[in-house]
Amino acid sequence: MKKILLAAAVAVCLTAGPGARAQMAVYDAANFVNTLREVETAANQLTQLNAQLQQMRQQYQMFTNATNITGMLPALNAPSLQNPMPTASSIPGQIAGASATLSSQGQAFYNLNHVWTATGTDPQASLLNRSSISTANIQGMAAANLASIEQRQANLNAMQTELQNAPDIKQVTAINGRIAIESNAIQGQQAQAANLTAMASAQKQTDQQAAL
């Protein structure tokens, strides 16, 4: 009986020995390296997502916090620059050279070109005096309009330089908006200059008819 028990115990030991060794932790280096790589990749992706989120927040702020377009280059907002021409109601008298209609802009040309003032109240003397005033006023209006266009053009060039150095899309949008405003203003002033030329030509013909 003792021999049978001893044999059974040896058999149990022989059977249990290999099983116990199989339950020990086994270190797999390749699998561990792969796991580290996956963790690193996930961390990089998270960093990229955070960067994209910050960029989206900045872009949102750019679009929601609008820049004051008309506040750029405030010198361009001066009334004399916005519309250098006299009021429409005063233009007929200045073009015709009526009495006491010599404008401040026309005064400089009148002083430069005026040689003689006709005396008397006859139509010929009146026509000569009106013509000199009319010519000076027309020159003054044309000079003021030209000076305004030149100043706008200079500021447009400055804004184009700013556009190239704009730090963000909000600034680009604002500068482009102001450039569009000033470009339209220049076109309007060019139209005014064309109208002034037409009125000056018509006044010249009127004066020639009156001199006959």
Q: Provide the pLDDT for residue 175.
A: 79
At residue 177's C-alpha, the angle toward residues 86 and 189, to 5°, is 25
Instruction: Compute how many other C-beta atoms are within 10 angstroms of the C-beta atom of residue 64.
Output: 8
Q: Provide the pLDDT for residue 136.
A: 93
What is the domain partition of the chain in residue ranges?
Answer: 2-61, 69-211
Distance CA 29, CA 162 (A): 58
| Closest among 42, 139, 41 to 95, alpha carbons compared | 139
Residue with tokens 């049978």: 4
Model pLDDT for residues 57-96, shown as the tens digit of each residue = 665 455 445 566 556 666 677 777 778 888 888 888 999 9
Per-residue pLDDT of the chain (212 residues; tens, 9 = 90+): 544 444 444 444 455 555 445 455 555 667 766 776 777 777 777 787 777 767 666 654 554 455 665 566 666 777 777 788 888 888 889 999 988 889 999 999 999 998 888 888 888 888 888 999 999 999 999 999 888 888 888 887 777 787 888 877 777 887 788 788 888 888 888 888 888 888 888 888 888 877 77
Q: Provide the pLDDT for residue 9.
A: 47
Which two structure tokens, joined as six digits, stand for 78?
């001066």
Cα four-point dihedral sign 38, 42, 43, 48: positive
Residues with Cβ within 8 Å of 178's Cβ and at least 6 positions away in sequence, in order, are 69, 70, 72, 73, 159
For the packed helices 123-164 and 104-113, what is the interaxial angle rounded to 10 degrees?
120
Distance CA 159, CA 152 (A): 10
Distance CA 21, CA 172 (A): 72
DSSP letter at 5 equals H
Distance CA 21, CA 24 (A): 6
Q: Provide the pLDDT for residue 25.
A: 53
Q: Provide the pLDDT for residue 133.
A: 92
